[in-house]
Amino acid sequence: MRTMTWRDDAACHGRDDLDWLGSQVTVSMARLCWDCPVRPECLFEALQREDKCDPGIWGGTTEAERRRIRHDRTVLRELWSELREAVA
Q: How confident is the model at residue 64, as a pLDDT?
A: 84
Q: In this structure, is residue 9 part of a structural domain?
A: no
pTM of the model: 0.70
Residues of the chain with pLDDT under 50: none
- Classify residue 8: in a domain, yes or no: no
* 76 backbone dihedrals φ, ψ, rounded to 5°: -65, -45
The answer to whether position 38 is within a domain reads yes
**Overall domain count for the chain:** 1
| Domain hosting residue 54, numbered range | 23-87
Residue 41, in any domain of the structure:
yes
Does residue 54 sit within a domain? yes
| Domain membership flag for residue 31 | yes
- 28 domain residue, yes or no: yes
Q: Does 35 reside within a domain? A: yes
- Give CA–CA dist 73/8, Å, rounded: 31
